[in-house]
Amino acid sequence: MFFVVKVTSGQEKIAASMLQNKLSKEQLQIYSIIVVEGMRGYIVVEAEDEITVRTFITKERNIRGILPKPLSEAEVDKLLEVKSYAQEIHNGDTVEFTSGPFKGYKAKVLRVDDVKSEMTVELMDVVVPIPITTKINTARIIQKAQK
């Protein structure tokens, strides 16, 4: 069964690491500890039953409690599903930043590094165009390059 454990927001990986260390010292029926990306303030623990989880998490720093209802396997599969938001950004495309310090700015793509998921762009509508290297997922395509 899968149980959702409340932890201090932003401390998910630290809490999971502490629980992993505790698990190596104790013989409990805990099968996995999962930190789900984007699920702030919660981790998922797979265990035999709720009592085992409650025993396991008591008196631990950054642990705030357990949600009363366990997750179904289908719900866990949905949480762990890899979501691909990959865009095919190419040289010459025009993009608009959706996050970060350049949010709202438009830029022309000069170079794309697929291995690092980075792109080098030149901001439009600025007095001095400066090449900037940033992550691909911080922008969206607004116009494809003319072929």
Give a yes or no: residue 119 inside a domain. Answer: yes
Tens-level pLDDT at each residue, the chain (147 residues): 999 999 999 899 999 999 999 998 888 899 999 998 888 999 999 999 999 999 999 988 899 999 989 999 999 888 887 655 556 888 999 999 998 888 999 999 999 988 788 899 999 988 988 899 998 888 899 988 876
> Do the beta carbons of residue 121 and residue 107 sit within 8 Å?
yes
Q: What is the CATH number of the domain that holds 32?
A: 3.30.70.940
19 shares its domain with 66: yes
pLDDT at 86: 54
The answer to whether position 87 is within a domain reads no
Residue 82: per-residue pLDDT: 61
Please name every residue paired with 135 in a beta bridge, in sequence order, or none if there are none: 118
Does residue 88 form part of some domain? Answer: no
CATH code of the domain covering residue 118: 2.30.30.30
pLDDT digits (tens, 9 = 90+) for 24-38: 888 889 999 999 888
- Of the candidates 76, 77, 38, 32, the residue with the CA atom closest to the CA atom of residue 53: 32
pLDDT of res. 67: 93
Residue 69 inside a domain? The answer is yes
Residue 133 lies in a domain: yes
For the chain, the domain total comes to: 2
Asked whether residue 132 is assigned to any structural domain, the reply reads: yes
Q: Would you say 76 and 67 are in contact if contact means Cβ atoms under 8 Å apart?
A: no
d(CA 114, CA 87): 11
User: For residue 87, what pLDDT is reported?
Assistant: 65
66 plus 104 within the same structural domain:
no
Question: Residue 128 domain-assigned?
Answer: yes
pLDDT at 90: 87
Residues 75 and 98 in one domain: no
- Per the domain annotation, does 86 fall within a domain? no
- Which range marks the domain in which residue 24 is found? 2-80
